Amino acid sequence: MSEKLLEIKGLSTHFFTENGVVPSVNNVSFDVNKGEIVCVVGESGCGKSVTSLSILQLINKPGRIVNGEILFKGTDLTKLSEREIRKIRGNKISMIFQEPLTSLNPVFTIGNQISETIRLHQNVNKNQAKMKTLEVLKKVGMPNPEKQYYSFPHLLSGGMRQRVMIAMALSCNPELLIADEPTTALDVTIQVQVLRLLRDLSEELQTSIVLITHDLGVVAEMADRVVVMYGGEIVEQNNVFDLFSDPKHPYTKGLLNSTPKIHQLDDSLESIEGNVPTPANMPHGCKFNTRCPFVMNKCREEQPPLIDADNGSEVRCWLHLEKEAVSS
């Protein structure tokens, strides 16, 4: 039986603005097992990044977690003080942000920044921290790490800066790594290298990964399990093989149909009509009803629950509930 490392139960994160409460994430629940890679996928504005930031208690005002539990090895992170969460953040749980250039301090060398992380969380001296930094830079494939140790972030390419971010995230041997769109700003060849690096490190160190992405190609390459989000909620959850072969939710089907396929290069791509509604202006009933080709009156009137489906999957859709009722 797989060991659960992270359990998110009923997480809701809202933003309290001058114009009222904006519910960004609503009642989100999923688990991450030890050594597992879970991809959280969806269009921009669906709540992926807010979910990932909530795990590490990095939601700034006016945002606030209003409900739910985030259990890391049985400890509820939402109940910890700022001092207690700092001992976990960057140590037991690390995060790779979207844009490394804005995440790295421009006035300090990369060696200084990685060493600082190591010295903050581990009982080592300055020289030991430097040796550990060089070791982790080699592990992530940084060319000439002794030279790059003294480089400033702006002197490095996008791919090398992302390797620095990965090295910093892995410097304290975390048990969980959260990667928020880690390949967005990189060209295709560097994307492949970074993703391969993350998977190899996960297999070697048994590090669990929560990978936030909108790219289904990345999902197919990396995921063991997939969480599909829309409108701040989970609409489908499944293992990667079943999700691609038998998607259950109309939104998941729309995402897959809008992905280019090498054997269909002459065909025009399908698209999901309309746009993701803003958190402050969500439709009544099913959040996807304004864009769904299979919408029914019930979809506009009542929110469907997230129910268990085939092979341990979950789906939030009245169509699936109707099928279940007919088959029973």
Q: Give the model confidence (pLDDT) of 252-271 as tens digits.
A: 999 998 877 665 555 666 78
Predicted pLDDT at 326: 44
Burial 260-295 (b: 16+ CB within 10 A, else e): eeeeeeeeeeeebeeebbebeebeebbbbbbbbeeb
Residues 114/142, Cβ–Cβ less than 8 Å: no
Percentage of the chain surpassing pLDDT 90?
Answer: 62
* Each residue's pLDDT tens digit, 180-239: 988 776 778 778 888 888 888 888 888 999 999 988 888 998 999 999 999 999 999 999
- Please determine, for residue 6, whether its predicted confidence score (pLDDT) is greater than 70: yes
Residues 176/6, Cβ–Cβ less than 8 Å: yes
In whole angstroms, what separates CA 232 from the centre of its chain?
13
Give residue for tokens 């029914």: 296
Predicted pLDDT at 262: 60
Predicted pLDDT at 185: 66
- Which CATH superfamily hosts domain 4-92+173-276? P-loop containing nucleotide triphosphate hydrolases (3.40.50.300)
Instruction: Check residues 54 and 265 and name the one with the higher pLDDT.
Output: 54
Average pLDDT on 83-110 reads 89
Helical pair 110-121 and 126-139, crossing angle rounded to 10 deg: 110
Q: Is 72 helix (H, G, I), strand (E, B) or coil?
A: strand
Return the domain boundaries, the chain: 4-92+173-276, 106-171
Residue 262 is encoded by which pair of tokens? Answer: 């090498």
* Each residue's pLDDT tens digit, 130-169: 999 999 998 888 889 999 999 999 999 888 898 898 899 8
Q: Which residues pair with 87 in a beta bridge?
A: none
CB atoms within 10 A of CB 31: 17
